Amino acid sequence: MKHSAQVMSKHLGWLVIAVLLSTGTLGNASELQRAGRPFSEQLRIVSGQLVKIEGEFYILRTPVGEEFRLQVTGATRMHGTFQVGDMIEVEVTGQGRIKAIRPLEK
């Protein structure tokens, strides 16, 4: 009886982990870091001030002070031209690739 309870407990533990991963609660597989913690793999909307451009990477600071290093690729939909100081909104993948970028509505 003790063995079957251990097996059931082990399977229940794996089930809980699987549920947490599928809902994005753990989400530690992502490469994009936000305040030391990874983003989930979902497409996210992030807005803030463009504080630096480093080649194909845009550094974005949110109103609460978080900074993101985001990559512009050939597939990025650019809705305008952007320079340091602009307020922007981006659609970004969990890997930090910008899908779309547009000026932030004032």
pLDDT of residue 106: 63
The pLDDT tens digits for 31-75 are 444 544 455 457 889 999 999 999 999 999 999 999 999 999 999
Weakest-pLDDT range from 87-91, 94-98, 102-106: 102-106
List the domain boundaries for the chain.
Answer: 1-30, 33-103
State if pTM tops 0.95.
Answer: no
Share of the chain above pLDDT 90, in %: 51
- What's the CA gap between 8 and 11, in Å, rounded? 5
Contacts of 77 by beta carbon, 8 Å cutoff, 6+ apart? 99, 100, 101
Locate 63 and state its tokens: 């109103």
Mean pLDDT, residues 67-90: 94
For 34, half-sphere exposure in the C-beta direction (CA atoms, 13 angstrom radius) is: 21
Is the distance from CB of 72 to CB of 90 less than 8 angstroms? no
In angstroms, the CA 71 to CA 78 distance is 12
Which top CATH class is 33-103?
A: mainly beta
